[in-house]
Structure 1
Amino acid sequence: MSTAIPPLDLAWLLMETPGGTTHVGAMLLFKKPPGRRDLVSQVVANYRGRQPLPPFTYVPEILGTGVPHFREVQTWDPHYHVQHLSLPAGSSYDDLLRLVADLHEPMLDRNRPLWRCWVIDGVPGGRFAIYTKTHHSIIDGVSGLRRLYDGLSLSPDDAIPAPAFALPGPPLASSAPPPALRRLTDAVHGVLTQVGAVNQISWGAVRKALSAALGTHVEGSLPFVAGRAPTNAPLRQARGFATLSLPLEEMHRIAHHHGATLNDVAAAVIDHGLHAYLRETGQAYAHELIAMCPVSLRGDDDTTVGTKVSAMFVRLGHPEATMADRLRQVAHSVATAKKELGALSTDAAMTYAVALVALAGAGASTHLDRVGRPACNLVVSNVPGSNDIRYLHGAELTGIFPVSALAAAIGLNVTLSSYCGHMDFGFVANSAAISDVHALAEHTRKAYAQLKVADRV
C-alpha cells in the first residue's frame, strides 16, 4: 500500500541536507526502581519483539514518474531500529548529552522506515534514557510527543506498553481511485481553497517586503527580515545538545504578574541568555533577534499522520534590555504576531507554512541563505506535555527533553515541554555557530534567576 506525501511533508524531505537534517526527537529520562538490574534489557527485548505500525512502516519514494508517496513495508530490522547502548562506568550526565548530540547528527536512512530508537543504560543516579528520532515528514512535534506519552504507563505496576512506533495510528485512506466526478470536484475545491489562502496571505506579505526593503520597522510576523546573527552561520553536521528544567508554577506566576504568557517568559529568558552568551564569547549582536515560533494546527483529538503546523516570526527584546523590560517587549511582539496569524484560516496557515519551508529549502540548497536575509535567527517552540507521572516497566519518567531539527541556516532550536511541575528545555545547536550550548543553557538559567529577583518571586 502507498499514500501520497502532502506538500508540507514533502518539503521537509526535499529541503533536507546532511548539515540541515529534518528529523525531530526527544530524550526521556527514567529513574530505575531498586533491585531491577535487568529492567533495561527487558525493555529492549520487548521493543524488538513489537511490530511497527504506520507511519513507522513508511519509506519515501520521491524520484520517478509517479506522485511522491510513502511505500509501506512489512519487514524491519529490530536491532537497527531499536539499539541498546550503555555509558561507560564513571560517565556524567554531560556525557549522555554528548552521546545524544552525536546520535542526532546523521540523516535517517531513506531506504528504511524513517525512525530510530536508542535505549541508553548507565546514566548516573541509577537512571537510564531513551532517545528517539523520527523524520518530520511522518510526524510533527505535537503528535510525536503524544505518542511517546501513550507508549508509557500511568502506574508503576503495569506491563510494558506498546512503544510509540507500535501504536495504531489513524485509519489510512482507501487507495482505490475516486470516481471521475469526485476527482473533478475535489480538484476544483482544492484550487479555490488555495486561491483563497494565497489571497489571505499576499497583502500582508507585500506590505512587509516593502517595509523590509525600505528598512522601516514593521510589527507582526516577520519572516526573512532578520539580520544575520552568529546563529546563522552555515550549518555543519556537528550538533550540541543541552537541557534545562525550570519550575512551572513559578513561571506561571511571573507571567501573570506581567500580563504575559508562559511562552513569553520562556522566549524572554532564552533571548536574554543568548545575548549574554554572545557577549561572553565575543560575538555580541547589536540588534533584536527574530525567533520563529511554530504553531500547531492540530485539534486535541487530531492523530492524523504528517505535519500540521504553521509559524509566526517574533521580534524579541532589545539587546541591552533588563529582564523585566525584555519580557514586556517579547509579550507585545508575540501578541501582535498571534493576532495576525489568528486572522488566517487553517488552509491559509498551512499554505503559509508550505511556502516558508519551500523558500527556506530553496535558499539552503542554492546557498542563497548565506547572502540573503535568513528566515529568522533561532526557533523557540513549546510542545504540550503532561501533568501525570508516567512509568515504563516500573521506572518513573523524570524528564522529557525535546531534541529538535536545525535547517536553512538557523543554527539554534530551543524546544520546551512541561512535565509534572517543571518545564523541560531542549537546546539543539549548530556547533559551528554555538560551540558551547551548555554555557548557553546556563546563561538562560541565570536570566530566569534575574527575572525572579525582579519580581520578588
Structure 2
Amino acid sequence: MNNKRYLSIVDNGFLITETEDSPKHIGSLLIYRKPEGADENFVHALYQKWLTVKEAYPPYNLKLNITNPLAPYYLEDPDFDPVDHVEYLKMPEGSSREKLYAKVSELHEILTDRSLPLWRCYLIDGLSDNRFAVYFRGHHCMVDGISAGKIMMEFHAKDAETLDLPPFWAMPDNPYNKKSSRKRPSMMERLKNMATSNVKTAVGISRISTQLCLEAAGLTKNAISLPFTSSKSALTGSITYKRSFSTASLPMDRVSNLQKISRNTLNHVALTCLDGAIHRYLDHIGRPLDEPLTITMPVSLRREDAKVGGNQIGLVATKLADRTDDPVIRLREIGVSLQSIRHQIDTSPAASIQAYSLLTNGFSQLMESAKAAQFIPALSHTIVSNVPGPKQTLYMEGAKLEEWYPVSTLGPGHRLNVTMFSYDGQLHFGLIASKDYLPDLNVLGGYIYEAFEELEAVLQSPDMGTSLLEAKRQHRLSGVEQS
C-alpha cells in the first residue's frame, strides 16, 4: 500500500497561490552538442527510447491528492506513463538561440497538469551547430532549485563513453530517495527538540522584529531590509501569463580572478554586475530607478545531511548599492550588505528565518492571488538567487552538456527573476520576466556581460579605473552637448 507524503506549509503555499497568470513551476534549459558522427535522428531516437521506460521513482511518479486543500499529499501513481510527460519538438533546422528562447518562454507559460505527477520534459531538436536542448520543468511544491539541480545532476554521466543510462525518472537511487544519515530520534528526543526549537524560533523572530522596528523608526540600519518599502517601478506590480526568457554567461576563471583581486565572493562580484546591468536596462526601456535596488534572496536552510526534496529555503530582502557609475563603489557597498545579511542569517535559527519568510512572502502571495498586488508596495524589486552546480563536464548518451540555464518562477509582485547557476567553468544567468511589462529582455543579458567587463577593467587598471571612469563621463557629457 502506498504511503502518503504530506506537503509542508511552504510547499502547499505554491499550490494555493498558483494562478493562470502566475504558474509556480521551476525549470532548466540544458543545451547539448550531439556526439560526433551521430545520426540526424539522434534526438528523436532518444525520445522513442525514453518512452519505453515506464518504471518511475519519486519524485517523478508522485501524484497529488488535493481532496483537502489544507492537507494535500502525494501518492505513487500506479499508472505512470512517460508519454504523459515527455514530448519531442522539432524546430526549423538551424534554429537560432533567439527562437529557442522564444519556445522556452512559450512552454514556461503553461500550467502544470495536477491530475498527473507534476513535471514535463521537452526534447527540442533542430538547433544550429549540431545541438539540441532539453527543457524540463517541475512544480515548485515538489522541489526547490537546489534539490532540482542535484537530482538532474545525477542523471548525467561524467564521460562520453557511458551510454544506456536510464532516463531521470527511472533512477531508483536519485538524491530524492536517499535517506538522511541522521539517526532517527526517540519520542523524548523529538519532544525536547521541538520545545527547544520553538523557543529558539520565538527568540529569533522577536530579534528580527525588533531590528525591523528600529529601522522603521530610523534608529538603525539592518542587513535584512524592511519589507514592502520598495518604490514602484517597472520591475514591480501585476503580471500577465506571458513570459520572456533570456540568458547571460560569465567565464568562471575571470570571475574568480576578480574575487581574488578584490577579496570578495562570487555573489559579491555577480550582484555588482547585475545591479549595474538592471539600472542600465531600466534606462533602456525608459523607466529609470534612481534609488538602490532591493532584492529578495532565497537562502538554503537545508542541512548537509538532510534529505533532498521539498522546499527548505528562507526569503530575505536586502538593498544593493546606491546608483553610481563607479563599479568599485558598487562592489564595496554590495559586499558590506551581503556580509551583514550572511551574519544575520547565520546567527538566527533556521526556523525563525523560515517563519519570517512565510509571514512576508505568504502575505505577498495572497495579495497576488487576490489580484491586489498593485495596491501594496512590493516586497522587493526583484528576486535573485544563486544555485551551485557541477564543476565538471557532463554527458547524456554521449552528447556533451555545454550550457545549463535555470528557468525560474516569478514571485508575488515581481516581474523579473534572475537565477544564477554555475556549471563547467561558466556562471550562467537565467532571466525570466513578464513579457508585457519588461520588453527587450535579451538586452539585459548583454548589459550583465558589459557590466562585468567594466568591473574587470577597473579592478585591473593601475589607478583602479579613475581614468577609465573619467573618459566615460566625458563621453557622456559630449553626447549631451551634441544633442
Q: TM-score normalised to the size of structure 1? A: 0.92
Which secondary structure does the structure 2 equivalent of 1:131 belong to? strand
Shift of 1:319: 2.1
Query: What residue is the counterpart of 2:315 in the other structure?
Result: 311
Report the Cα distance in structure 1 between the residues aligned to 2:443 and 2:326, rounded to whole angstroms.
Answer: 20
Once residues 117 and 166 of structure 1 are traced to their aligned partners in structure 2, the CA distance between those partners, rounded to angstroms, is: 14
Tell me if structure 2 keeps the 8 A contact 1:241–1:427. yes
Of residues 219-228 and 418-427 in structure 1, the stretch that sits farther from structure 2 once superposed is: 219-228
Q: Residue 263 in 1 paired to residue 267 in 2?
A: yes
For structure 1, which segment, 79-88 or 225-234, has the greater mean C-alpha deviation from structure 2 after superposition? 225-234
Task: Report how far residue 70 of structure 1 moved.
Answer: 1.8
Q: Return the alpha-carbon distance in structure 1 between the equivalents of residues 222 and 5 of structure 2.
A: 40
Q: 1:421 aligns with which of 418, 421, 425?
A: 425
Give the match's secondary structure for 1:253. Answer: helix
Report the 3-state secondary structure (helix = DSSP H, G, I; strand = E; otherwise coil) of the residue aligned with 2:410: coil
Letter in 1 for 2:48: A
Q: Secondary structure at the match of 2:439?
A: coil
Q: CA deviation at 1:418?
A: 1.2
Give me the whole-angstrom Cα distance separating, in 1, the residues matched to 2:66 and 2:360: 20
**1:388–1:370 Cα change, 3 Å:** same
One-letter amino acid of the structure 1 residue matched with residue 224 of structure 2: S
3-state SS, counterpart of residue 221 of structure 2 = coil
Q: Out of 37, 40, 45, which is 2:43 matched to?
A: 40
The number of equivalent residue pairs is 449
In 2, are the aligned partners of 1:20 and 1:236 still within 8 Å (CA)? Answer: yes
Q: Structure 1 residues 93-102 or 358-367, which shifts more?
A: 358-367
TM-score under structure 2 normalisation?
0.87
Tell me the CA shift for residue 407 of structure 1: 2.3
With over 3 angstroms needed to count, the CA separation of the structure-2 counterparts of 1:66 and 1:420, relative to structure 1, is closer
- CA 1:147/1:438 → structure 2, altered by over 3 Å: closer, same or farther? same
* Distance in 2, Cα, partners of 1:217 & 1:199: 20
Matches within 5 A, 1:184-223: 190=194, 193-209=197-213, 211-212=215-216, 214=217, 218-222=221-225, 223=227
Aligned match for 2:105, one of 101, 105, 114? 101
What SS does structure 2 have at the residue aligned with 1:232?
A: coil
Aligned equivalent of 1:176: none
Q: What SS does the aligned partner of 2:209 have? A: helix
CA contact (8 A) 1:11 1:357 kept: no
2:342 equivalent in structure 1: 338
Deviates more, 1:252-261 or 1:235-244: 252-261
Alignment of 1:287-326 (within 5 A): 287-326=291-330
Q: Does 1:119 align with 2:128?
A: no
User: What's the CA shift string for 1:254-303, capped at 9, x where partnerless?
Assistant: 12222211011111111111100111211001111111111112344544
- SS of the aligned residue for 1:89 comes to strand
Superposed displacement of residue 34, structure 1? 2.4
Contact 1:46-1:160 within 8 A present in 2 as well: no
Of the structure 1 ranges 316-325 and 277-286, higher mean CA displacement relative to structure 2 is found in 316-325
1:142 is paired with a residue whose SS is: helix
Which one-letter code corresponds to 1:241 in the other structure?
F
Q: Offset of 1:382 from its aligned partner?
A: 1.0
Residue 382 in structure 1 maps to residue 389 in structure 2: no
Identity %: 27
Deviation by residue 1:181-204 (Cα, 9 ceiling, x = unmatched): 95x985785466345313312332
**Structure 1 contact 244–425 (Cα < 8 Å) conserved:** yes
**Structure 2 residue identity aligned to 1:104:** H
Of 272-281 and 223-232, the range deviating more from structure 2: 223-232
- Alpha-carbon separation, structure 1, partners of 2:231 and 2:33: 44
- Asked if the contact 2:214–2:220 (Cα under 8 Å) also holds between the matched residues in 1, the reply is no
| Partner Cα distance (1:363, 1:263) in 2 | 31
For 1:431, the equivalent position in structure 2 comes to: 435
String of CA shifts for 1:187-222, please: whole Å, max 9, x gaps: 78546634531331233224314533x577733112
| Aligned-residue CA RMSD (Å) | 2.4
- Matched residue, 2:406: 402
CA deviations 1:381-409 (Å, max 9, x no partner) are 11111111111111101010000111201
- In the alignment, is the contact (CA less than 8 A) between 1:313 and 1:337 conserved in 2? no
Secondary structure of the corresponding residue to residue 231 of structure 1: coil
| 2:34 counterpart letter in structure 1 | K
CA distance in 1, matches of 2:27, 2:108: 8
Check conservation: 2:23, 2:111, Cα contact below 8 A.
yes
Q: Which moved more, 1:52-61 or 1:433-442?
A: 52-61
AA at the equivalent of 1:271: D
Distance 1:187 1:9, change over 3 A: farther
Q: Say if 1:64 and 1:31 are closer, same or farther in 2 by CA, change over 3 A.
A: same
**Could you report, residue by residue, the CA deviation over 1:200-257 in whole angstroms, capped at 9, with x for unpaired residues?**
1233224314533x57773311233322221103121111111111110111111222
1:392 to 383, 389, 396: 396
* Residues 93 and 127, structure 2, Cα contact 8 Å, conserved in 1: no
Name the residue aligned to 2:241. 237
Among 169, 186, 190, the residue aligned to 1:165: 169
Q: Is the 8 A contact 2:232 2:378 kept in 1?
A: yes
- SS of match in other structure, 2:36: coil
Tell me how far 1:44 sits from its aligned partner: 1.3
CA distance in 2, matches of 1:187, 1:358: 28
Alpha-carbon distance in structure 2 between the residues aligned to 1:366 and 1:65: 17
SS of the residue corresponding to residue 88 of structure 1 reads: strand
- Segments of 5+ residues of structure 1 without an aligned counterpart are 174-180
- Aligned equivalents of 1:4, 1:187: Cα separation in 2: 21
> What's the CA shift for 1:320?
2.8
Q: Is the 8 A contact 2:385 2:419 kept in 1?
A: yes
More off after superposition, 390-399 vs 360-369: 360-369
Q: What secondary structure sits across from 2:421 in the alignment?
A: strand
- Larger RCO, structure (CA 8 Å, separation 6 or more): 1
The aligned amino acid for 1:201 is I
Choose which of 96, 108, 125 in structure 2 pairs with 1:92. 96
1:254·1:455 contact (CA, 8 Å) conserved in 2?
A: yes
Give the structure 1 partner of residue 471 of structure 2. none
Per the alignment, residue 328 of structure 1 pairs with 332
Indicate the SS of the match to 1:87. strand
Contact map agreement 1:233 1:432 (CA 8 A) in 2? no
Distance in structure 2 (CA, Å) of the matches to 1:385 and 1:257: 24
Q: Does 1:73 align with 2:77?
A: yes
Measure how far apart 1:368 and its partner are: 3.8
**Residue identity matched to 1:225:** T
SS of residue in 2 equivalent to 1:450: helix
Letter in 2 for 1:372: I
From the superposition, tell whether residues 192 and 447 of structure 1 become closer, same or farther in structure 2 (CA, over 3 Å). same
Q: Per-residue deviation at 1:90?
A: 4.2
Do 2:383 and 2:414's aligned partners in 1 also have CA atoms closer than 8 Å?
yes
Q: Is the 8 A contact 1:143 1:303 kept in 2?
A: no
